[in-house]
Amino acid sequence: MKERPFLETRDLVVGYARPRHPRRVVVDDINVILRPGELVCLLGPNGAGKSTLIRTLCGMQAPLEGEVLVEGEPLGKLSPSDLARRMSLVLTERVAVGMMPVATLVSLGRHPYTDWAGRLGARDREAVRRAMADVGIEPLAHRPVCELSDGERQKVMIARALAQEPGVMVLDEATAFLDLPRRVELMHLLRSLAHEGRRAILLSTHDLDLALRCADRLWLLAPGGPLVQGVPEDLVLTDAFARTFADAGVLFDKGSGAFTLALEGRGTVALSGNGIPGMWTYRALERAGYRVVHERDAVTCVETLEKDGRLCWRIRGREPVHHSLESLLAHLNSCGAGEGS
Amino acid sequence: MNPSATKDAPAQEVHPIPRVSLLLWFALLGALAGVFLLELCLGSVTIPFGSVLAILMGDSEVPEGWRQIVLLFRLPRAVTAMLAGAALGMAGLMMQTLFRNPLADPFVLGISSGASLGVAIVVMAAWGFGWTAFIQKAGISAGASLILAATAGAMGILSVIMALARRVESNVTLLIIGLMFGYISGSLVTILFQFTQEQQMQTYITWTFGSFGGVTWSQMTLFAPTLLVGLLLAWSLSKPLNAFLLGEGYARSMGVNVRAIRLWIIVGASLLAGTVTAYCGPIGFLGIAIPHLCRMLMKTSDHHVLAPAVILVGAIVALSADLLAQVPGARIVLPLNAVTALIGAPVVVGIILRRRHTMEVGA
Q: What is the pLDDT of residue B129?
A: 61
Say if the Cβ atoms of B300 and A101 lie within 8 Å.
Answer: yes
Q: What is the pLDDT of residue A34?
A: 92
Say if the Cβ atoms of A138 and B363 lie within 8 Å.
Answer: no
Question: Which chain A positions have a beta carbon within 8 Å of B234's beta carbon?
Answer: none
Question: Which chain A positions have a beta carbon within 8 Å of B362's beta carbon?
Answer: 95-98
* A321, β-bridge pairs: none
Q: Is B295 in the A-facing interface, judged by CB distances under 8 Å?
A: yes
Q: What is the mean pLDDT of residues B81-108?
A: 90
C-alpha radius of gyration, chain A, whole number: 25
Provide the mean pLDDT of chain B.
83
Residue A338 pLDDT > 60: no
| Nearest CB neighbour to A89, from listed B15, B239, B250 | B250
- Report pLDDT digits (tens) over A82-93: 999 999 999 888
Residue A39 pLDDT > 50: yes
Say if the Cβ atoms of A111 and B243 lie within 8 Å.
Answer: yes
- Report pLDDT digits (tens) over B242-262: 999 998 889 999 999 988 998
Higher pLDDT, A296 or A281: A281
Single-letter residue type at A199: R
Query: How many Cβ pairs within 8 Å bridge chains A and B?
Result: 136
- With beta carbons less than 8 A apart as the criterion, state whether A316 and A302 touch: yes
Helix, strand or coil for residue A320? Answer: coil
Q: What is the DSSP string of B271-288?
A: HHHHHHHHHH----SHHH
Q: What is the pLDDT of residue B251?
A: 92
Nearest Cα residue to B283 out of B308, B310, B317:
B317
Q: Which residues contact B30 (CB under 8 A, 6 or more apart)?
A: none
Q: Which residues contact A10 (CB under 8 A, 6 or more apart)?
A: A31, A66, A67, A69
SS (H, E, C) B239-254: HHHHHHCCCHHHHHHC
- With beta carbons less than 8 A apart as the criterion, state whether B300 and B18 touch: yes
B93 band by pLDDT with thresholds 50, 70 and 90? very high
Q: What is the pLDDT of residue B137?
A: 55
The total of other beta-carbon atoms located within 10 Å of residue A300's CB is 21
Residue A68 pLDDT > 90: yes
| Percentage with pLDDT > 90 across chain A | 35
Long-range CB contacts for residues B342-348, cutoff 8 Å, separation at least 24:
B344/B285, B344/B286, B344/B289, B344/B317, B345/B285, B347/B289, B347/B293, B348/B288, B348/B289, B348/B292, B348/B293
Residue B16 pLDDT > 50: yes
B 196-255 residues with CB < 8 A to A: 236, 238-239, 242-243, 245-247, 249-250, 252-255
Nearest CA in chain B to A101: B300
B3 band by pLDDT with thresholds 50, 70 and 90? very low
- With beta carbons less than 8 A apart as the criterion, state whether A126 and B250 touch: no
Q: Which residues contact A239 (CB under 8 A, 6 or more apart)?
A: A254
Residue B294 pLDDT > 80: yes
Rounded alpha-carbon distances, angstroms, from residue A319 to A301, A315, B346: 13, 7, 75
- Chain A nearest CA to B259, separation (Å): 11
Single-letter residue type at A48: A
Q: Is B169 in the A-facing interface, judged by CB distances under 8 Å?
A: no
Q: What is the pLDDT of residue A264?
A: 61
- With beta carbons less than 8 A apart as the criterion, state whether B85 and B93 touch: no
Q: What is the pLDDT of residue A273?
A: 81
Q: What is the pLDDT of residue A201?
A: 95
Provide the mean pLDDT of chain A.
86
- Chain B nearest CA to A339, separation (Å): 57
User: What distance in Å separates the CA atoms of residue B351 and residue A98, rounded to the nearest whole number?
Assistant: 14
- With beta carbons less than 8 A apart as the criterion, state whether A106 and A186 touch: no
Q: What is the pLDDT of residue A22?
A: 84
B361 band by pLDDT with thresholds 50, 70 and 90? very low
Nearest CA in chain B to A109: B254
Choice among A50-59, A138-147, B15-24, B113-122 with the minimum mean pLDDT: B15-24
B236 band by pLDDT with thresholds 50, 70 and 90? very high
* A68, β-bridge pairs: A9
Cis ω before A320 (30° cut-off from 0): yes
Question: Which chain B positions have a beta carbon within 8 Å of A95's beta carbon?
Answer: 245-247, 250, 362
DSSP letter (8 states) at residue A93: S
Question: Which chain B positions have a beta carbon within 8 Å of A91's beta carbon?
Answer: 247, 249-250
Q: What is the DSSP string of B153-164?
A: HHHHHHHHHHHH
User: What distance in Å separates the CA atoms of residue B127 and residue B149, rounded to the nearest whole number?
Assistant: 15
B56 band by pLDDT with thresholds 50, 70 and 90? confident
- Report pLDDT digits (tens) over A162-191: 999 999 999 998 888 888 888 899 999 999
Nearest CA in chain B to A114: B239
Helix, strand or coil for residue B337? Answer: helix
B11 band by pLDDT with thresholds 50, 70 and 90? very low
| Nearest CB neighbour to A112, from listed B249, B255, B363 | B255
DSSP letter (8 states) at residue A113: T
Say if the Cβ atoms of A60 and B252 lie within 8 Å.
Answer: yes
Q: What is the pLDDT of residue A249?
A: 65
| Percentage with pLDDT > 70 across chain A | 94
- With beta carbons less than 8 A apart as the criterion, state whether A268 and A290 touch: yes
Q: What is the pLDDT of residue A340?
A: 43
C-alpha radius of gyration, chain B, whole number: 22
Q: Which residues contact B220 (CB under 8 A, 6 or more apart)?
A: B76, B79, B80
Residues of chain A with CATH 3.40.50.300: 7-249
A151 band by pLDDT with thresholds 50, 70 and 90? confident
Choice among A165-169, B17-21, B86-90 with the minimum mean pLDDT: B17-21
B284 band by pLDDT with thresholds 50, 70 and 90? confident
Nearest CA in chain B to A128: B16
Q: Which residues contact A242 (CB under 8 A, 6 or more apart)?
A: A236, A251, A252, A254
Please give the class, per CATH, of domain A7-249.
alpha beta
User: What distance in Å separates the CA atoms of residue B125 and residue B200, rounded to the nearest whole number?
Assistant: 10
As a residue count, chain A comes to 341
Nearest CA in chain A to B294: A99
As a residue count, chain B comes to 363
Nearest Cα residue to B284 out of B202, B339, B352:
B339
| Nearest CB neighbour to A120, from listed B16, B299, B363 | B16
- Report pLDDT digits (tens) over A236-247: 888 888 888 876
Say if the Cβ atoms of B14 and A103 lie within 8 Å.
Answer: yes
Q: What is the pLDDT of residue A23?
A: 86
Among 3.40.47.10, 1.20.1420.30, 3.30.565.10, 1.10.3470.10, name the CATH number for the domain at B21-359.
Answer: 1.10.3470.10
- Chain A nearest CA to B17, separation (Å): 5
Residue A261 pLDDT > 70: no
Cα dihedral A159, A161, A167, A171 sign: negative
Q: What is the pLDDT of residue B30?
A: 96
- Chain A nearest CA to B93, separation (Å): 13
Residue A224 pLDDT > 80: no
Q: Is B299 in the A-facing interface, judged by CB distances under 8 Å?
A: yes
> What is the predicted ipTM?
0.78
Q: What is the pLDDT of residue B10?
A: 43
User: What distance in Å separates the CA atoms of residue B70 and residue B76, rounded to the nearest whole number?
Assistant: 9
Residue B225 pLDDT > 50: yes
Angle at B270 between CA B269 and CA B275, to 5 degrees: 110
Nearest Cα residue to B149 out of B121, B172, B176, B170:
B121
